[in-house]
Amino acid sequence: MGVTYTSGNASAYISIATYTVTGSAVASYTFSNIPTSYTDLVLIGSPNNGPGTYPFVQVGNGTVDTTSSYSSTQIYGSGTTVGSTRLPSTTYGWGGTANAYSNIKIYFMNYANTNTFKTWLCRGGSASDYVSAEVTLWRSASAINTIKIYPDTGTYPVGTTFNLYGIKAAG
């Protein structure tokens, strides 16, 4: 056999949940009970004059994993320099870059598979700091149904938005 092919023609990019910070700033936001019926997840964030330098991401199944099970690699351009750096064995993964009026786009690939470690890719950027891309490994074969995002310092102000989408493969 070797490989199983399936085909489809349904719309594949589905909104799962949306969150907007209202009233007062928040230290973090957690998407819980994420359905595992999709193939990939996409998290799009738009911090409003956001804090810190990095959005940090923790994931889990039921609860977020706060152990040193994450590692990230980044490439970035600051406007004057290009570089690459990494975080080995940390308690969070990178979710892009932040700071004032940044944007975040995170792709959680094959997030519901219970046989493989999980990898996510990020595109981030802020006019005041960096354009960047990141890859993070979460060394767990658990399906992801919980995602927490928080800034390295400070809080997310009113007006910040986080949108979670599911991408459903054919079959």
Partner 1 sequence: MGVKQLSSASAITGSKSNKFWDQSTYVGDFVQIASAVVDSSGTPQIAFTNIPQNFTHLQLRTSSRDTNTSTGTPSLGIRFNGDTSASYNYHVFYGTGISSTATGSGATGYTYSYALNGTYDGNTASVYCANIVDFIDYSSSNKYKVTRTLTGIDYNTTSYSSYINFISTSWNNTAPISSMVIQSSTLHKQYSRFDLYGVR
Could you list the residues that contact partner 1 (CB under 8 A)? 1-13, 39-40, 71-76, 82-86, 88-89, 107, 109-110, 113, 115-117, 119-121, 123, 133-137, 139, 141, 167-171
Give just the sign of the alpha carbon dihedral 43, 44, 50, 53: positive
Nearest to 102 by CA among 135, 132, 58: 132
* Nearest approach, Cβ of residue 25 and partner 1 (Å): 31
* Nearest approach, Cβ of residue 167 and partner 1 (Å): 7
Of residues 22 and 115, the one with the C-beta less far from partner 1: 115
* Nearest approach, Cβ of residue 128 and partner 1 (Å): 21
Please give the Cα distance from 43 to 89 (Å, whole number). Answer: 23
Structure tokens at 148: 């927490």
Of residues 139 and 158, the one with the C-beta less far from partner 1: 139
Of residues 26 and 167, the one with the C-beta less far from partner 1: 167
* Nearest approach, Cβ of residue 97 and partner 1 (Å): 13
Q: Listing from the earlier edge strand, what are the strands of the sheet with 131-138? A: 13-20, 161-167, 40-46, 102-109, 118-126, 131-138, 70-77, 82-90
Nearest to 152 by CA among 67, 107, 91, 103: 91
Structure tokens at 21: 């910070």
* Nearest approach, Cβ of residue 40 and partner 1 (Å): 6
Of residues 27 and 82, the one with the C-beta less far from partner 1: 82
Beta strands at 82-90 and 70-77: parallel, antiparallel or unpaired:
antiparallel
Nearest to 163 by CA among 63, 47, 56: 47
Of residues 32 and 139, the one with the C-beta less far from partner 1: 139
Please give the Cα distance from 125 to 129 (Å, whole number). Answer: 7
